[in-house]
Amino acid sequence: MKNIYIIGVGLIGGSLAIDIKKKNPEVIIHGISRKETTLDEALALKLIDKKAILDDVDKADLVIICIPVDATVNILPAILDKIPVTGLVIDAGSTKEAICKAVENHPKRRNFLAMHPIAGTEHSGPSAAISGLFEGKTNIVCEVEKTAFKLQEKALKLVIDIGMRIRYMNPVAHDKHIAYVSHLSHISSFMLGKTVIDKEKNERDIFDMAGSGFASTVRLAKSSPEMWTPIFKQNKDNVIETLEEYINNLTQFKDMMRQNDFDAIYNEMKNANHIKDILKGIN
Amino acid sequence: MKNIYIIGVGLIGGSLAIDIKKKNPEVIIHGISRKETTLDEALALKLIDKKAILDDVDKADLVIICIPVDATVNILPAILDKIPVTGLVIDAGSTKEAICKAVENHPKRRNFLAMHPIAGTEHSGPSAAISGLFEGKTNIVCEVEKTAFKLQEKALKLVIDIGMRIRYMNPVAHDKHIAYVSHLSHISSFMLGKTVIDKEKNERDIFDMAGSGFASTVRLAKSSPEMWTPIFKQNKDNVIETLEEYINNLTQFKDMMRQNDFDAIYNEMKNANHIKDILKGIN
């Protein structure tokens, strides 16, 4: 692999660029973005070697798409049209069903591998890119059997080299489960932020009372709406289901409090403590 | 101050013990606990110098109460009864109204200072105690005017020496606002943990999909039910109010999704992003 084109050079694209270049110093990283200023920033930060445009991908050995998932669905077929017959396209989207569906009958379907590297921070843009973001993290690969074997090998080597472990899953199962362990967390955090801001916006001193616990719980409310709106749109049914269950659990907790059933409250928390064992190893 | 008695030598009591001893090597830290094994652990970890019992506080220069808030309400009057006339009692509870009320007419009310050091982790017990926990954190002091001036001075010096900044607030306002910036976060986290565990408990592999964002949001679900049940009980009305607002916001978000109003979804998230500015300086 010589020429790698990264479409979207923010948190994910930029962080991939850093670590791929580190492991493969011989490659040339070309950055593509809708915004010229983003590319200038990525170049200044040395995330990319060169600026490029979409038409250039006819020279790509590898294209990595790291843009909002609605934009991915829109441009993926055209990217596949353009790449060389030996070219590989991968994406990094947080949803997988709509993306896989967008190219299911594409003549070059075998040149695409659907991925979801589960890594990130609440920050966004080229300046959010960091080395080591993917170290020890999970990369979900969907419909691996639909990708040409030689290209699978290339893609997996690339992500394993930057420290990721691979899990295989079908796109429908991916979207269902990721709604619980990622999408719901974001909404719980955004709405926690809203609840506190609405109440306390005129009492800035109150935020002096906020400790590290609040900061941790509300951290994801800093995430990019540009990135997350299309995720919720594409995964609407699953996300609504998780929200209903979450709201039911909160309502039940509130009702227990109203009824002064603090033994039940205690038990609810004791059971949720079980998350300790489950989270072992995640930081 | 020579003899300091800490009642409850877990996360908060133990961490206070470490830093107070570090700043005041001449003091003797006496530990008191319902459980002998806890005291043995605290002694082995060198959090305390000596084991003690409640009756010993008649020799105390300072008593720090770091136990669940219902137990604090129960024993605080008796502790005040027992301490010397020059003794000082402070507490570290996450609620303040019931605690202040418990001693409002106590003849030694002026020997008590109500505090809430806003610091902690999701861990508990003596082994959770760490140095530096209070560095740069806020300590809410309630009804400062009801404490003897000389004793106020002693207490404030003690906590300022270990890195805390002081904010003064009345107990009613404290309990109202802390419900938003701390108590609600804990419930949102406990119920997020429950929602995901209930759904995914038979699919352990799914937790491979959980990233750092989920871990951060659900971190507080590891907190101690022994500590938190009495907090929710004492602050019931305020907590129920925050829960209602939170549930309303989540329901509204869900309804927007159902109605495919993703412009509104985008705006909700954009507004919640404002939490970035608010949280500056909290880690």
Tens of pLDDT, residue by residue over A100-128, are 999 999 999 999 999 999 999 989 999 99
A274 touches chain B (CB under 8 A): yes
pLDDT at A63 over 60: yes
A251/B247 CB distance under 8 A: yes
Please say whether the beta carbons of B48 and B21 come within 8 A. no
Q: Answer with the residue of higher pLDDT: B203 or A174.
A: A174
Q: Lowest mean pLDDT: which of A87-91, A120-124, A160-164, A229-233?
A: A120-124
Which helix (DSSP H) or strand (DSSP E) does residue B177 occupy? helix B171-178
Where residue B281 falls among pLDDT bands split at 50, 70, 90? Answer: low
Q: pLDDT tens across B248-258, in order?
A: 999 999 999 99
Query: How far from B209 is each of A137, A153, A185, A205, CA to CA, in Å?
Result: 9, 22, 13, 38
What's the pLDDT at B277? Answer: 82
A229/B269 CB distance under 8 A: yes
pLDDT at B43 over 80: yes
Please say whether the beta carbons of A193 and B184 come within 8 A. no
Please say whether the beta carbons of B239 and B180 come within 8 A. no
- Cα(B173)–Cα(B171) distance, rounded to whole angstroms? 6
pLDDT at B283 over 60: no
- B86 to chain A, closest Cα gap in Å: 31
What's the pLDDT at A208? Answer: 79
Please say whether the beta carbons of A142 and A100 come within 8 A. yes
Positive/negative CA dihedral, B130, B131, B137, B142: positive
- A223 to chain B, closest Cα gap in Å: 7
pLDDT at B280 over 80: no
What's the pLDDT at B205? Answer: 67
Q: Does domain B174-279 have CATH number 1.10.3660.10?
A: yes
B191/A250 CB distance under 8 A: yes
Burial category of A277 from C-beta neighbours within 10 Å (exposed 0-12, middle 13-18, buried 19 and up): exposed
What's the pLDDT at A279? Answer: 78
Residue of A nearest to B199 (CA): A180
Identify which of A138, A211, A240 has the shortest CB distance to residue B119.
A211
Domain chopping of chain B, boundaries:
3-170, 174-279
Average pLDDT over all residues of chain B: 95
Please say whether the beta carbons of B201 and A131 come within 8 A. no
- A19 to chain B, closest Cα gap in Å: 19
Mean pLDDT of A170-197: 96
- B70 to chain A, closest Cα gap in Å: 12
A269/B229 CB distance under 8 A: yes
What's the pLDDT at A202? Answer: 66
What's the pLDDT at B129? Answer: 97
A–B interface: beta-carbon pairs under 8 A: 314
Give me the residues of A, 53-112, that contact B with CB < 8 A. none
- Cα(B237)–Cα(B240) distance, rounded to whole angstroms? 5
Give me the residues of A, 248-267, that contact B with CB < 8 A. 249-251, 253-254, 257-258, 260, 262, 265-267
What's the pLDDT at A206? Answer: 75
Residues of A in contact with B215 (CB under 8 A): 279, 282-283
User: Angle at which helices A11-23 and A149-161 pack, to 10 degrees?
Assistant: 90
Residues of B in contact with A194 (CB under 8 A): 249, 268, 271-272
A257/B232 CB distance under 8 A: yes
Please say whether the beta carbons of B36 and B16 come within 8 A. no
Identify which of B223, B239, B273 has the shortest CB distance to residue A225.
B273
What's the pLDDT at B111? Answer: 98
Q: pLDDT tens across B178-226, in order?
A: 999 999 999 999 999 999 999 877 666 677 788 888 999 999 999 999 9
Give me the residues of A, 162-201, that contact B with CB < 8 A. 167, 174, 177-178, 180-182, 184-200
Identify which of A258, A273, A276 has the shortest CB distance to residue B225.
A273
- B22 to chain A, closest Cα gap in Å: 23
- A205 to chain B, closest Cα gap in Å: 9
Q: Does domain B3-170 have CATH number 3.40.50.300?
A: no
Mean pLDDT of A158-176: 96
Where residue A200 falls among pLDDT bands split at 50, 70, 90? Answer: confident
- Entry pTM: 0.93
Mean pLDDT of B36-60: 98
What's the pLDDT at A203? Answer: 65
Average pLDDT over all residues of chain A: 95
φ/ψ bin of A86: left (φ > 0), alpha (ψ from -120 to 50), beta (otherwise):
alpha
A271 touches chain B (CB under 8 A): yes
Residue of B nearest to A166 (CA): B208
What's the pLDDT at B212? Answer: 86
What's the pLDDT at B210? Answer: 86
B209/A240 CB distance under 8 A: no
Residues of A in contact with B212 (CB under 8 A): 119-121, 282-283
